[in-house]
Every structure is written in C-alpha cells, then in structure tokens.
Amino acid sequence: MIVDLPDTTTSKVSKSLVKIREENGVVALGRVLTLVIATTPGIEEEAIEAANDASREHPMRVIVVATDPDEPDDTAPRLDAEIRVGGDAGASEVIVLRAHGPVARDEESLVMALLLPDAPVVTWWPGSAPDVPGTSALGRIAQRRITDASAQPDPQGALKALATSYTPGDADFAWTRLTLWRAQLAAVLDQPPYEPITRVSVTGAVDSPSTTLLAAWLRLQLDTPTEYELTSVEEGSHGIHGVRLERASGDVELIRDVPGIATLRQPGQPQHDVALPRRNLRDCLADELRRLDPDELYGEVIGSGLALLGASEAEGVHT
C-alpha cells in the first residue's frame, strides 16, 4: 500500500503513520533500526528495492530523503511524501521525502521526527556522498554511515577522500564487496605449505576502488611488498581481475577471467573454479547492517593500509 502526501509536513507524515498502523494493523514493534537513504530524485527506487530486500533480514524503518543539489536557490519550499507499507515495503515501512527549496537544505530536521525511538540509525548515500560523512547533517545522527566509492565520478579519488575524512562508524561498499575475496584468500593461506608470502600482485579496473582496498588489506596483513595495477575499463573487465601470491614453492593465483567465476591455481594441486560474483546492493547493504559498531579492520585498511600502499607507490611498486 502506498499513501501519497503532497505538499505536506513531517508532522503530518508522522500522524499519517500512526493512523495507518491503527487502521491496518501495521506495527513498528520488531523494527531493529532506522535506515536513512540520502539520494537524488529519479534514482531512489533502486536503493528502496535493495532496502526492502535487506529488510527481510533486518526489519527496519526506511526514510528516503530525495533532494536535488542543482535546484535553483529561489525554489519555493515544498515537501512531498509517500508512505509505503505491506507488499510495497518488504518487512519494513518506507517513508519517501522529496524536498524542495529551503526545506531540502535542512535534512536533519526532515528526519528527526520520523526516527524510531531508541533504535540505532544508519545513513546510506547510494550515490554522491558529502565530503566528510561523519560531520554531515545526516551523518551526525547515525551510528553507521555507508558510502559507495564506486558510484562516484572518480572512484579512486573518492577512496582517497574517504581515507582523509574517516570517522569510526564509516563504511563503504568497496570494502563490503571484498568479503568473498578475503575469505577465499584467507582459506588458501590456512592450508599447507605454510610458507611466507614474498610478494603480492593485485590487478583490477581503474574504476574499482575494491582493487585498491584489496591490495591495501594484503599489504597490511602480510607485511610484504605489494604491487597493484589498475587497467583501463573495457567491456566485461570491471572490478577485480586477480591476485597473485608469490612464495618459494610456487605462486598462488586467483584470477577472475569470467564474470562471477575465478580460477584458483596452486602448486601441486588441481585447478579449481571458485564462485566470486560481484555482490549486488542488497547483499552489500544486508552485510553492513549485520553490525552497528565501527568496523575497525576497515578503518585500519583505509588508513594504515592505503598509507603503506602510498609508500610503495612512491618507491615505484604501483604499476
């Protein structure tokens, strides 16, 4: 069910929510958090769909704040809202706020009256994110702040900016997409022979900040020379291409030549095909919502790990 509230106020939206619950039996009990999605008009539906899917694992209230940063300064103030419940909202209740004019520039006031009481708040920017998420209007009210460097015009530049502005509680989907890669590489290194890694090579597309983060993680964890190569984007070559771990008994290679499938080669063992699909928005969002405390490892990688890669780059290791 979708209830439209044109030219309204947050107070009227809140009262409408109460009325809907009373008339239709929709309850807020069991909602574990409030997810605030900060986006722009026209692209909010993909984020809402991902949130609806993730809500089946994490029942929540979803508040979508859609504002246009390019809107003229003299635009008349106006707030249009939608309330979605039932089949249109998964296991959540979705409030869509489309704000214009001065109203749009006070995002914190827009959502404060609609937050679930005594529940954690997570803010997600599926597209453009503020320069410093932790000090932004919607970032200040959140325990976790989720960005997506790969959605920015310059993904590698966005990753460096996130490292500079990092605040405990920050997260980025470029890191979340590495979960399967990190698990597979860790499993390989847990098997004999237990020889030290002498050199690491990581390759991927230039529009893949995950490639850079994977190299930073390996550099930090293995404390060994690490080189990473970012290639031009060609059809079918997005994301991480592969990893090579060099050691005395021979190289370990995990290469993704086919989308979703990687080939694992190890000395003295048969070749294996490993499922390594690119994780979609729903999977990344659900993964990040499983923890509401700061991701300390991500903080170390985006800070210390990237700094170590930067030192290697200065020495000519990065190609």
> Among 1-5, 62-66, 91-95, which range has the highest average pLDDT?
62-66
Q: Give 105's contacts (C-beta < 8 A, 6+ positions apart).
A: none
Residue 136 vs residues 113, 115, 129: alpha-carbon distances, Å: 18, 17, 9
Please write the tens of the pLDDT for every residue from 8-31.
Answer: 999 999 999 888 877 766 555 568
Please, what is the Cα angle at 88 between 84 and 89, to 5 degrees? Answer: 70
Please write the tens of the pLDDT for every residue from 180-205.
Answer: 999 999 999 999 888 999 999 999 99
Please write the tens of the pLDDT for every residue from 79-100.
Answer: 999 999 877 667 678 999 999 9
Answer with the residue of higher pLDDT: 318 or 40: 40
Start-to-end CA span in the chain (Å)? 54
Please write the tens of the pLDDT for every residue from 265-275.
Answer: 999 899 999 99
| The one-letter amino acid at 190 | D
| The one-letter amino acid at 121 | V
Please write the tens of the pLDDT for every residue from 224-259.
Answer: 999 999 998 765 578 999 999 999 999 999 999 888
**Owner of token pair 């980025």:** 172
**Owner of token pair 């722009």:** 40
Answer with the residue of higher pLDDT: 316 or 80: 80
pLDDT given at position 315: 42
**Within 10 A of 61 (CB to CB), how many other CB atoms are there?**
23
